Chain A
């Protein structure tokens, strides 16, 4: 059993089969599952991927993680990673040198300047959704919104392919971020577990009962369930029971979300900001085994006073980000943790009459670090005013293909929405090889 999640995996199709729309492949998942289980000695060890101990510590260590830093509203490339000093589009800030020869970034990011050897910047993003809802959907799923298909978010995909089956915590956690596509057609098992801006758990995470009462009624419930599972032998009843057990385990693992003690010690490293605190929680969760954590920062939608807007938002963000990279590095987690930095859109080269920058997706910047990403480089170029991509355009599909590839997930892997095969990254997209190990 090479993956913990036999049932969910059996529904998709790797590269070994010809790329055709074959509905019967979907139907054979039962057979596939049986085969997988038989290989594990005929014992249903990991039903529904929520319990079991089929994976050793070894496998756990090799598992990859992802932290998505979501710049809601769309951060400006001109005030971060793609400076145009001296051009009419340049804006007021000056570029500074970094710890990588030849790479300059905005002076608002002095701490990230010291981390640039870890970071690969893509300066040639060209995407297809210029408004917020469309862009948020696009940069969370890699797909344009489309009526008949509910695409899953990056977090749900990573939860499915890199999530731990026996984790006490959910595999997809969102901390104060945006996007509501959720698990889409991958199903409720991969739904994000949303943490509020102040670190609060989602509704119904906390028992209202005294511990003793809670234990007593749950013992009774477990007995009731055991009777049914025994007589009916129904697989869905087993899955139901196992997700119930996972919910119980979560009650015990809740302290992972309480970072008060560690925050006191880490404030300096991450910077004393809400975003810093969220980044610390992300690191803590990844360390506990969570596959995907998304951390949001609002809001970059600077249609007016772009420069001062960014002066407020960028410094705490870059402090936290730099601290996160440093912390991951020190703990030996950076090699297996991909840190993605993006928002839904970039901002216009022209500065409007309210000193703002509007929405722009013809040429903008994103950044990746860790998990085998070749840091210390920029990929793609914008033209002298930052208006058009000059070399190596990267589409949303290419971006997602790169993210999935870095995480050891084949971007061409297909899942079924009904009988329609849908690859993880859209047809025709390719990972950016230059960024990958």
Chain B
């Protein structure tokens, strides 16, 4: 479609040319995005894929925004609707769905902790996860969210303090992660040596680490707090990070030089002179007092500031990558000069607009998924992560998404006993979380990284997937009802699992299978273990 409309393309090009940002205050961001993306395709002589069909769009955006495929009823309603603005209305509805907050919380939990956090009890963080979900339910501005996490106040069971717990006594590890996750700055090489070709020196690394050197993870003695320990982040009045020079020249026992806190690209932090003295002994019965001067809070404020040269670009790049498959700079957490954005102007535009919109991630998400670029077909040159967004990306579903999609597709409902037990908290019901995480838990970059693994197929082939499939009111029951016309049954099978009607040949083949006595449950199994089901595309 885009490729053939050269006239329109030229028009858009001429409008975009010369304006670094948006066309004017009234133009929605999604149109600015499309103008810039089309200009890039023209410059690179790329022909984009066809626009996504309604069915393609419905499935893709529903999984992306709420972590689940649409139900059969939703699918039928959307496909039959003639409303011209039905896509916009769908997106609005999904963004207000409570499952969207859950989906965002899951995404950010993986960014901040990963599937296998470094330890120190960070694998048990229900409190943090619940807090994160609340933040997205309230659509808290992202700068505020980042600041709150980095200031880490309160008890770990109530939320943000948990973030530092995983880096207990390791300010260097925390520095690596914070700069990557919030700023897209990859400082880790400078931990051991001056970076060979990036600008970072070892002292830049330790200058940043100095902000965190006084933090102490205090374990509170509390009774009856369930299985999770309660931590609180204390900050000492004194204490410095020690710098001993390049790691290769390290000598055991050599005493280092204290390094003062220094922001990247800035002079040293001005702070009141520290009193002489020893670090306090924090009690394990009450939260420690706040220091008179908090280095950690200064760092949090410097990071989550629109004036910070990295912060806003890092988040727009990340959100773009979440929905488009690839960051404008990719990997999304590397904004270094050696990894330049493929469309620098687009990154500037998104960053500028996000500041204008006060870090409203829901707004940014809406604009991205309503762009024509997001709404392209997935049929392309085979790349899971298209270089210039000229077709949609293909990404594996996360373990949580897969479990939910299986339930919706097969029409699984909790039986009396499980329903009564309030099985709601079990994300993988009726399957076991241990196996689901082992076989589908990683990689989960959300960006399409995928490896074929034997184990997931053995699990799907020989494992307990049958427990999701059968039952009263299930898809399997419908498909197996021989009194209904076989074409209707096949149609329902496809619409409820892959959210599209079957093609003629699919109708023919699957009808033949059912007519020859093939079990309905196995037909459902074949659909929900297929590649088309396993990925969002």
Of A221, A233, A241, the residue contacting B380 (CB under 8 A) is: A233
Contact A193 B384 (CB under 8 A): no
Residues of B within 8 A of A150 (CB): 116
- In A229-279, the 8 Å CB interface with B consists of 229, 231-244, 246-248, 250
For the complex, is B456 an interface residue (Cβ under 8 Å from A)? yes
Query: A413 near B: Cβ within 8 Å?
Result: no
In the complex, whether B84 has a CB less than 8 A from a CB of chain A is no
Q: Known interface pairs A21-B195, A208-B462. Does A217 touch B451 (Cβ–Cβ under 8 Å)?
A: no
B44 to chain A, nearest CB (A): 15
A312 within 8 A of B: no
Residues of A within 8 A of B176 (CB): 148
Determine the main DSSP class of A at the interface with B: helix
Interface-lining segment among A22-30, A84-92, A325-333? A22-30
Q: Which of B384, B435, B459 contacts A234 (CB 8 A)?
A: B384
Chain A residues within an 8 Å CB radius of B503: 227
A207 at the interface (CB under 8 A from B): yes
Q: A23 is contacted by which of B119, B336, B454 (Cβ under 8 Å)?
A: B336
What A residues does B518 contact at CB under 8 A? 216-217, 220
With an 8 A cutoff between CB atoms, is B394 at the interface? yes
Q: Which of A74-82, A184-192, A352-360, A401-409 contacts B (4 or more CB under 8 A)?
A: A184-192
B-facing mask of A170-186, CB < 8 A → 1, else 0? 10000000000000000
Chain A residues, CB < 8 A from B85: none
Q: Which residues of A contact B505 (CB under 8 A)?
A: 227
Q: Among B227-235, B284-292, B359-367, B521-529, which stretch is in contact with chain A?
A: B521-529
Q: Does chain B have a CB within 8 A of A394?
A: no
Q: Is the CB of B532 within 8 A of A188?
A: no
Q: Which of A22, A170, A247, A250 has the most CB of B within 10 A?
A: A247
B89 at the interface (CB under 8 A from A): no
Contact B197 A188 (CB under 8 A): no
Check B186 for interface membership: any CB of A closer than 8 A: yes
| Complex interface: chain B residues within 8 A of A24 (CB) | 338-339
Residue of A nearest to B441 (CB): A188
Chain A min CB distance to B406 (Å): 15
Chain B proximity mask over A209-222: 1 for CB below 8 Å, otherwise 0: 00001001110110
* Structural contact, A242 and B452, CB atoms closer than 8 A: yes
Interface: B344 (CB within 8 A): no
Task: Among A147, A207, A228, A239, point to the contact of B173 (Cβ < 8 A).
Answer: A147
Q: Are A228 and B531 in contact (CB under 8 A)?
A: yes
Asked if B461 CB lies within 8 Å of chain A CBs, one says yes
Complex: chain A residue closest to B510, CB-CB: A220
Q: Is the CB of B526 within 8 A of A247?
A: no
Residues of A close to B333: CB separation below 8 A = 418
Distance from A234 Cβ to chain B, minimum over Cβ atoms (Å): 5
Most chain A C-beta atoms within 10 Å of own C-beta, residue among B455, B461, B527: B461
- Is residue B188 contacting chain A, with contact meaning CB distance below 8 A? yes
Structural contact, A191 and B453, CB atoms closer than 8 A: yes
**A236 touching B331 in the complex, CB below 8 Å, given contacts A150-B116, A170-B454, A204-B463:** no
Indicate if the CB atoms of B330 and A27 lie closer than 8 Å.
yes
* In the complex, A224 has a CB within 8 A of chain B: yes
Residue A48 at the chain B interface, CB threshold 8 Å: yes
Chain A contact residues (Cβ within 8 angstroms of B): what range?
35 or more
A68 to B537, CA, bound (A): 42
Contacts of B442 in A (CB 8 A): 187-188
Determine if A20 is an interface residue (Cβ-Cβ < 8 Å).
yes
Known A-B contacts A27-B330, A220-B510, A221-B525; the reply to A187 vs B451 at CB < 8 A is yes
Contact A224-B526, Cβ < 8 Å, known A189-B452, A246-B454 = yes
- Give the residues in chain A near B513, CB-CB below 8 Å: 216, 220
Contact with A419, one of B167, B331, B522 (Cβ below 8 angstroms): B331
Chain A residue nearest to B463 (CB atoms) is: A204
The verdict on A189 contacting B453 (CB below 8 Å), with A24-B338, A207-B461, A220-B510 known, is yes
Which residues of B sit under 8 angstroms from A236, Cβ to Cβ?
384, 394, 396, 448, 450, 531, 535
- Tell me which residues across on chain B come within 8 A of A48, comparing CB atoms: 451-452
Contact with B along A1-42 (1 / 0, CB 8 A): 000000010000000000011111001001000000000000
Chain B 430-459: CB-based contact to A (< 8 A → 1; otherwise 0): 000001000000110000101111111111
What 0/1 readout, one digit per residue, does chain A (283-305) give for beta carbons within 8 Å of chain B? 00000000000000000000000
Is B488 positioned at the interface, with any CB of A under 8 Å from its CB?
A: no
CA distance A408 to B4 in the complex (A): 54
**Set of chain B residues within 8 Å of A239, measured between Cβ atoms:** 450-452
B118 nearest in chain A by CB position: A147
Which of B173, B195, B330, B537 interacts with A232 by CB under 8 Å? B537
Chain A residues contacting B435 (CB-CB under 8 Å) are 203
Question: Is A231 a contact of B379 with CB atoms below 8 Å?
Answer: yes
A188 vs B448: C-alpha distance in the bound complex, in angstroms? 14
- Cβ–Cβ < 8 Å partners of A8 in chain B: 451
Bound CA–CA A84/B420 (angstroms): 67
Asked if A207 and B452 make an inter-chain contact with CB atoms under 8 angstroms apart, the answer reads: no
B196 close to A20 (CB less than 8 A): yes
User: CA A228 – CA B59 in complex, angstroms?
Assistant: 15
Does A23 contact B186, Cβ atoms closer than 8 Å? yes
Residue of A nearest to B514 (CB): A220
Chain B CB within 8 A of A324 CB: no
B378 CB–A CB distance under 8 Å: yes
CB of A320 to closest CB in B, whole Å = 28
- Cβ of B529: which chain A residues have Cβ within 8 Å of it? 221
CB of B250 to closest CB in A, whole Å: 11
A23-B331, A148-B177 known; A235 vs B531 contact (CB < 8 Å): no
Q: Is B42's CB within 8 Å of the partner chain A?
A: no
Interface presence of B519 (CB below 8 A): yes
A-B contact pairs, 20 of them (CB 8 A): A8-B451, A22-B197, A22-B338, A23-B334, A188-B453, A189-B452, A205-B458, A205-B462, A217-B526, A227-B503, A227-B532, A228-B530, A232-B379, A232-B394, A233-B379, A236-B394, A236-B450, A238-B382, A240-B450, A250-B458
Which B residues are within 8 Å of any A CB, using their own CB? 116, 118-119, 166-167, 170, 173, 176-177, 180, 186, 188-189, 195-198, 248, 330-331, 333-334, 336, 338-339, 378-384, 394, 396, 435, 442-443, 448, 450-459, 461-463, 503, 505-506, 509-510, 513, 518-519, 522-523, 525-527, 529-532, 534-535, 537
Which 7 pairs of residues, A with B, have the shortest CB-CB distance? A243-B452, A147-B118, A188-B453, A247-B457, A217-B522, A221-B526, A237-B531
15 more A-B residue pairs beyond the given contacts A237-B532, A247-B454, with a C-beta to C-beta distance below 8 A:
A20-B196, A30-B383, A150-B116, A188-B442, A189-B451, A221-B529, A221-B530, A225-B530, A225-B532, A234-B394, A234-B531, A236-B396, A236-B450, A243-B456, A418-B333
Give residues in A with beta carbon < 8 Å to B.
8, 20-24, 27, 30, 48, 50, 147-148, 150, 170, 187-189, 191, 193, 202-208, 213, 216-218, 220-221, 223-225, 227-229, 231-244, 246-248, 250, 418-420, 428
